[in-house]
Amino acid sequence: MGERVMMVSWSGLMDALAHCQKCPLAGQRHCVVPGEGNPNARLMLIGEGPGAEEDRSGRPFVGRAGELLTKMLKAIGLSREEVYICNVVKCRPPGNRTPDPQEAAACLPYLRAQVALVRPQVILLLGATAGRYTLDPELRITRDRGRWTERKGVWMMPTFHPAALLRNESLKRAAWQDLQAVREKLDELELKPVREGAE
Ligand code: URA
């Protein structure tokens, strides 16, 4: 069966990921970290790649950055269970280095399959790497954070990675603005069909 066909179901996707050997990261992993959350989430969050704790547990964003991410979501009235959280690459790059273009290219079909299965209305890209591999290779996070792009009816916005917020507290104010904009976009999209119907 072709890869595309296999990945149009969650079970096909999970099976393909569990056995994936498409790039050298596979040889060093303890666990694949596919992603987790609501399979019908309105909001999807995409990070860079698993760190040490994620590699040990098989779950995304469970380390310190993950704790902050959970708090940030809570601040806009969302739980981790309501959203879908995943990464550009599903296996840990050694020493938490940035995934290289070949690794990202090998893994992107899985991310595309996740987007196709979840069908989120809004995607929040956590950090420059997520933004560059999904939205724009030239993206600069300080310049481009907070800007909306609509692609095939999905609203995408890059913001600072929570690990960057842990390193540099002064970025938190901008990240908070971005999160509030996400909350507003979700509310606006929820109301839209009602408004259109009323017109
Ligand atoms: N950083 C990421 O980008 N993803 C994780 O899952 C954890 C830390």
Residue 193: its pLDDT value, please? 63
Residue 11: its pLDDT value, please? 96
Cβ of residue 103 lying under 6 Å from some atom of ligand 1: no
Mind listing the pLDDT tens digit for each residue in 35-82? Answer: 999 999 999 999 999 999 999 999 999 999 999 999 999 999 999 999
Distance from Cα 49 to the centre of ligand 1, integer Å: 5
**Residue among 46, 54, 125 whose CB has most ligand 1 atoms within 8 A, to mutate:** 54
Mind listing the pLDDT tens digit for each residue in 48-61? Answer: 999 999 999 999 99
Higher pLDDT, 155 or 192: 155
Q: What is the DSSP string of 82-126?
A: TSEEEESSSSPPGGGPPPPHHHHHHHHHHHHHHHHHH--SEEEEE
Count CB-CB contacts under 10 A for residue 46: 28
Q: What is the pLDDT confidence band of residue 1, given thresholds at 50, 70 and 90? A: low
**Angstrom distance (rounded) from CA 129 to CA 104:** 10
Residue 199: its pLDDT value, please? 44
Mind listing the pLDDT tens digit for each residue in 97-153? Answer: 999 999 999 999 999 999 999 999 999 999 999 999 999 999 999 999 999 999 999
Cβ of residue 99 lying under 6 Å from some atom of ligand 1: no
**Angstrom distance (rounded) from CA 50 to CA 96:** 8
